[in-house]
Amino acid sequence: MTVDIPLVNGTSQCTVTAYSQKSYEASVEFYSQFLQLEKDTSDARSTTLRNSGVSLQILLQEDSTKQAESEARFKELTSELRTSDWRSLVSGSLVFKATDVTQCKAALDAQFDNIQAYPTDLFPMELYAVDPVGNVVGVTKTKNAVSTMPTAPPASKGTFTSTVPSSAQSSVELSVDNDKFIGTDASVTAGPTADAPGQKAVAVMTSGGDAPGMNPNVRAIVRTAIAKGCRAYVVMEGYEGLVRGGPEYIKQFSWEDVRGWSSEGGTNIGTARCMEFRERAGRLLGALHLIEAGVDALIVCGGDGSLTGADLFRSEWPSLLQELKDTSKISSEQFTRYQHLNICGTVGSIDNDMSTTDATIGAYSSLDRICRAIDYIEATANSHSRAFVVEVMGRNCGWLALMAGIATSADYILIPEKPSSSREWQDQMCDIVTKHRSRGKRTTIVIVAEGAIANDLTPISPKDVHKVLCDRLKLDTRVTTLGHVQRGGTAVAFDRILATLQGVEAVNAVLESSPDTPSPLIAINENKITRKSLVDSVRLTKSVAEAIHAKDFKKAMSLRDTEFVEHLNNFMAVNSADHNPPKLPQDKRLKIAIVNVGAPAGGTNSAVYSMATYCMSQGHRPYAIYNGWSGLARHESVRSLDWKAMLGWQSRGGSEIGTNRCTPEEADIGMVAYYFQKYKFDGLIIVGGFEAFVSLHQLERARDNYPAFRIPMVLIPSTLSNNVPGTEYSLGTDTALNALMDYCDIIKQSAASTRGRAFVVDVQGGNSGFLATNAALAVGAQVSYVPEEGISLDQLSQDIETLAESFETAQGRGRNGKLILKSKNASKVFTPEVLAEVITSEAKGAFNAKSAEPGHVQQGGLPSPIDRTRATRLAIKAVGFIEDHQEAICSARADDEEFDPDDSEISATAAVLGIKGSNVAFSSIRQLYDFETEIAKRMPKVIHWESTRAIADSLVGRKKVDAK
């Protein structure tokens, strides 16, 4: 019979081959009943069954040998009916989407008893049977659980439907030959080996050492490829899987197969070292297996060794293809179809040793583990006045040791890029530790990279450092080797976001690449995702190791990114503080003040500590204005900063010098000017959020009336809202994202434990949706509402329908808790509690929602390593700004007639220090305030995270309703 909505749908053209007249007739009867298909054409050797969405052809090819194999297969499977899951016994199965599984079961029950139903016989969601030829055939009610085409995300527009399945075209042949079976199981979507016309296939693999963030990277690549109309594949076990090939190692993935991967550490698709791939014969097999799977492009997430192999693979591809054709391993059609293989690299490495990129996937997660461990060690070291030697990873790169040294105020670090003779490093270390101890420091932390060497290439081990500290300084010393703790665990927010954005860009890169395009490597420079030449990046990376082994340490350092050199110089300057003679002559030494304005944010104390210690090393005198402008105006709260009093500030949250939201005009700008004049400040650094931005504007505009403000002034943005104009990054945002991410991971786990549960999480951020948008990207939230968009009733209705569809799709699977993130100012009417009630009511029993409010937990506890190290970097740049602009404004301080506040050179001395794209830039406060700021909304006019928001929505298949 023909119906408007067919019982089964999804695979539109299938061929089943029978090898005897008896099995041929039985197969026709079986498929007619099971799938309720109608005879279209029939003769002695061929029968076509169809409905409006499916066409199934049954062929008769008499062959006694294959018939015997078929009968043996049928007997083996039916004998395991009550003891084994058939899906685990076969290499593949054919599965259709059914509108009514129970109806399919009733059709078979009368004549066939070889049926397996899941989860129960009474209420089946999936049904499997063995046809007379010995094939496992199934129908499923679970949306997209198994499909013969990649599962697409919901369309960006349109109405919600959940009953009629897709009828995407595909062609599949089932026969007793196992090589022609479609690889499927309960969780991995199978796909046809034949290509849909014009459809590309993108594969992803992880290789080398695992790194936190690889799973989010794979998730982003798979879902972006599907969203762009491609088939998505994963190569299991790295290059090992490429060499072995077959459906066990090269699997087609669906949208649902990577659900929940954002919050999982390691790599779920596996990684392995593969010696065979280093030989041409292994790469030849890899090429053959990719062609057999129909793969057009390969994205490799790994370190320099893995990416070197990938680029070699691409360069050899034409000759590998020719050899496969000459040996008849591939057909002429395949030779023509797969003339070119596009390859792209994303760097997954905890060492952060890849040139041309500021950060590699997993590096900041590893650094987070190290800093947490050292923070804990510092506590016990302080109790016993001990020294600790901490060994961290980094065979040819000292990035982890260097950044950990900055983030934890370590006394000394040993890295491979800057070795010295055995006598020199021992003397230097002992000198610094002695000076620190003599000034009252009770703890000593020395960080050793595993690749640390002396300049004669002699390795420096933690035991060597331990011996020196014990023998020469008589310190009670312990050694801690962190080992693989640095590599494990889930990724921090930065790595989840970095891996996701790079995954999206990697798919764009391979789809846009031509045969003449060099293989790209996806990098990040400051705050911008960029494409670099893969081969050049790998070459530069290997050159560093070669220079070190050749004892050309100057060249090795020059080959490192400028940011690495900058961080090293910063560490040495901050570490010396006032313990060594000042670098600047007396006439260049300045009085520089620092003040915190606004709510506390992670990294604020790090900025104060770094500014003060760097000033001391230069010869400047650092002052702190305690408790903001009101503290200054009311209590003259100015104190010079002392090194010993600041011990431990680098790793503390909050604000040690106090902060509030009061602006100079609110506090009494005249009194503020009086104290500036009294203390003769030569420069001012403000650390804070939008109130700090307004404060800098008020001080700059008051210069005409108050000569005391005619000094260089710079703002370091510090707010979890990240709403300060002139920057795409503010101190505290990374700490807040980590705190919110951890909270959401726990809430999501709770939601997953309760069937059909979603949580509405209240997110801070004022009128800025930055925190909610990036948190949604990091945790895979299904929906996020931000002030920039608000909450329309149409969008809310659409989101509820999409959530219901998502829960239906997830039935029977784990990781099915859902999150809805709502910025506090996204709606004054829809509070989290009201929103949860509305969603629960409108869901009509499909699921329910609860509210969750993390509150000030989002301000974080201990600042993250990113906020600590960036605070140090920005604070030192701010001091440099004050040094560089003394001459420009010095003559204007006392001469009112000569002073012109509108002069561009003068106005440039009051600036916001921010990160814009791939640059660190100083922007005039006058330009920003007058032309680039929505004052009433406390927001910049340009929303720099808008593209990130679009990606966050697309990766969860959120349907957006056009604003009317």
476-493 pLDDT tens trace:
999 999 999 999 889 999
Token readout for 908 is 């440039």
- Return contacts of 109-118, CB within 8 angstroms, 24+ apart: 111/29, 111/33, 112/30, 114/77, 114/78, 114/81, 116/81, 116/85, 116/86, 118/812
**146 burial class (0-12, 13-18, 19+ CB within 10 angstroms)?**
buried
Lowest-pLDDT range, 238-247, 305-314, 762-771, 811-820? 811-820
Average pLDDT for residues 573-601, to the nearest whole number? Answer: 93
Q: Do the annotations mark residue 597 as ligand-binding?
A: no
**110 burial class (0-12, 13-18, 19+ CB within 10 angstroms)?**
exposed
Token readout for 387 is 């020294």
351 is catalytic: yes
The amino acid at 928: L
pLDDT at 890 over 60: yes
**Residues 204 and 259 grouped into a single domain:** yes
Q: What is the mean pLDDT of the chain?
A: 87
Q: Is residue 960 part of a domain?
A: no
**Residues 229 and 324 grouped into a single domain:** yes
**Residues 497 and 481 grouped into a single domain:** no
Q: Using 50, 70 and 90 to split pLDDT, how confident is the model at 771? A: very high
Q: Is residue 85 part of a domain?
A: yes
Strand blocks (E) in 400-519: 412-414, 444-449, 477-481
pLDDT at 393 over 90: yes
Task: Give pLDDT tens digits for 857-887.
Answer: 998 889 999 999 999 999 999 999 999 999 8
Beta bridge partners of 848: 757
**Residues 323 and 345 grouped into a single domain:** yes
Contact by Cβ (8 Å): 149, 192: yes
Q: Is residue 547 part of a domain?
A: yes
Last residue of a domain, one of 129, 159, 185: 185
Q: Do the annotations mark residue 439 as ligand-binding?
A: no
Q: What pLDDT score was predicted for residue 161?
A: 28
Q: Collapsing DSSP states into helix, strand and coil, what is residue 585?
A: coil
pLDDT at 388 over 50: yes
Contact by Cβ (8 Å): 226, 216: no
Beta bridge partners of 389: 446, 479
The parent domain of residue 349 ranges over: 200-362+491-551
Last residue of a domain, one of 162, 185, 208: 185
Name the H helices within 448-561.
462-473, 493-512, 534-549, 553-559
Q: Is residue 571 part of a domain?
A: no
**Residues 59 and 151 grouped into a single domain:** yes
Q: Do the annotations mark residue 304 as ligand-binding?
A: yes
Q: Using 50, 70 and 90 to split pLDDT, how confident is the model at 75? A: confident
- What's the structural domain count of the chain? 5
Last residue of a domain, one of 185, 220, 253: 185
The amino acid at 837: E
**Residues 8 and 80 grouped into a single domain:** yes
CATH of the domain at 111: 3.10.180.10
Q: Is residue 561 part of a domain?
A: no
pLDDT at 958 over 60: yes
Answer with the residue of higher pLDDT: 901 or 348: 348
Q: What pLDDT score was predicted for residue 116?
A: 84
**Dist CA 295 CA 276 (whole Å):** 21
Q: How many helices (H) and strands (E) does the chain have?
A: 30, 34
Q: Is residue 458 part of a domain?
A: yes
**Residues 634 and 654 grouped into a single domain:** yes
pLDDT at 139 over 70: yes
Lowest-pLDDT range, 63-72, 211-220, 319-328, 650-659? 63-72
**Residues 219 and 115 grouped into a single domain:** no
Q: Collapsing DSSP states into helix, strand and coil, what is residue 699?
A: helix
**Residues 699 and 745 grouped into a single domain:** no
Q: Do the annotations mark residue 551 as ligand-binding?
A: no
If we measure between CA atoms, which residue out of 845, 840, 851 comes closest to residue 808? Answer: 845
DSSP state of 10: S
Q: Do the annotations mark residue 766 as ligand-binding?
A: yes
What's the pTM value of the predicted model, to 2 decimals? 0.80
pLDDT at 124 over 80: no
If we measure between CA atoms, which residue out of 346, 203, 208 comes closest to residue 286? Answer: 203
pLDDT at 904 over 80: yes
- Hey, CA dihedral for 415, 417, 422, 426, is it positive or negative? negative
**Contact residues for 303 (Cβ-Cβ < 8 A; gap 6+):** 207, 208, 209, 347, 348, 349, 351, 353, 354, 360
Q: Is residue 412 part of a domain?
A: yes
CATH of the domain at 346: 3.40.50.450
Q: Do the annotations mark residue 87 as ligand-binding?
A: no
257, 311, 351, 495: which one is catalytic? 351
Average pLDDT for residues 597-614, to the nearest whole number? Answer: 96
Q: Do the annotations mark residue 394 as ligand-binding?
A: yes
Q: Do the annotations mark residue 856 as ligand-binding?
A: yes
Q: What pLDDT score was predicted for residue 810?
A: 67
CATH of the domain at 775: 3.40.50.460
Q: Is residue 563 part of a domain?
A: no
**Residues 716 and 850 grouped into a single domain:** no
Q: Is the peptide bond before 459 cis (omega within 30 degrees of 0)?
A: no
Average pLDDT for residues 48-69, to the nearest whole number? Answer: 85
Q: What percent of the chain has pLDDT over 90?
A: 65
Q: Do the annotations mark residue 954 as ligand-binding?
A: no
**Residues 324 and 443 grouped into a single domain:** no
**Dist CA 899 CA 906 (whole Å):** 9
**Residues 445 and 583 grouped into a single domain:** no
